[in-house]
Amino acid sequence: MVARINVKGMSEVRRARKTYDDNFNALIAKPFNLSNKDHIAALNKYMDEFECYKNTMYVYQAASEIFNYSAGGWLFSWLISIPTFLSSSCFVLACIGAAGVKLESKSILDFDSELQKMEMLYNWVLKKGSADYVEGTDNTAKLEQLEIQRLVLLIAPLCETEFLRVWPAETTVQTDNTNELAKAFMSGINAISAGINLITRSKQTVEQLKLKDLKVAVEQRQLDTGVIKSLEQAGRYFAMSPEFKTRVNVQIGLFKRYVPPVILSMLPDFSLSTDSPKA
């Protein structure tokens, strides 16, 4: 339930925030242990919360984009004659978009704060708490775990490549060589490397191939998302996420406590099923 906007409510928010921060700092103060079930459970908890937050911000972002286009369309309708329903639709979308702009601008600082916590978790898990990755460090055992791969995927669209790379580089940046002989030589080397990589891939397990593809995707920024793709991702999340549905049901339960039974009996059951969709 949203805290009441008064002295008591704000004091409760501050106490809850302090408890949250203290628990977080206590968690990352000790070295991460892949075999520690409490560490994995805490990591999943923070990822669940951040995933919900991130997808909410994607919706706000899309709403602000709606404002940019629909407001222009609405103003344009004053200059030329267009059907009334189109003008009204543009106006409604502009209002929705304006709300999205306001929500996004108010929430972005909080979102950045949560992203910084995720970056601290990333460093805790994959850099031994350090801010920088030590070249040559072998994180294979950790990166093979689905929870750690989820952590990478979760923040990859939002963080710099060099921050994310916690493995020996899988791809190299090619420089422009003006020497034609050097270009031909490098082409031959690349062809040989490609052949070797093909043979190597044939000997790797499915899990190893998936991990390699994830590393390449991170290094080449293949996980970046635009407004439309982000909104599609958010739509899938809100439609399928048990975490989100559980949160909604908690709020519905709290709401029912304040509604008289007579009125409640007249309302439909808004609770969401937390069962995973069948394939």
List of residues 6+ apart from 255 with CB closer than 8 A = none
The closest of 144, 246, 254 to 205, measured between CA atoms, is 144
Mean pLDDT by 10 residues, the chain (279 residues): 74 91 96 96 95 89 68 46 45 47 64 95 96 92 96 97 95 55 54 54 76 96 92 86 66 61 59 51
24-39 pLDDT per residue, tens: 999 999 999 999 999 9
3-state secondary structure the chain: CCCCCCHHHHHHHHHHHHHHHHHHHHHHCCCCCCCCHHHHHHHHHHHHHHHHHHHHHHHHHHHHHHHHHHHHHHHHHHHCCCCHHHHHHHHHHHHHHHHHHHHHHHHHHHHHHHHHHHHHHHHHHHCCCCCCCCCCCCCHHHHCCHHHHHHHHHHHHHCCHHHHCCCCCCCCCCCCCCCHHHHHHHHHHHHHHHHHHHHHHHHCCHHHHHHHHHHHHHHCCCCCCCHHHHHHHHHHHHHHCHHHHHHHHHHHHHHHHCCCHHHHCCCCCCCCCCCCCCC
Task: Check residue 154 and give its pLDDT.
Answer: 97
Task: Check residue 184 and give its pLDDT.
Answer: 54
Task: Check residue 92 and give its pLDDT.
Answer: 47
The closest of 154, 152, 162 to 125, measured between CA atoms, is 152
Task: Check residue 121 and give its pLDDT.
Answer: 98
Contact 158, 218 (CB under 8 A): no
Task: Check residue 145 and give its pLDDT.
Answer: 95
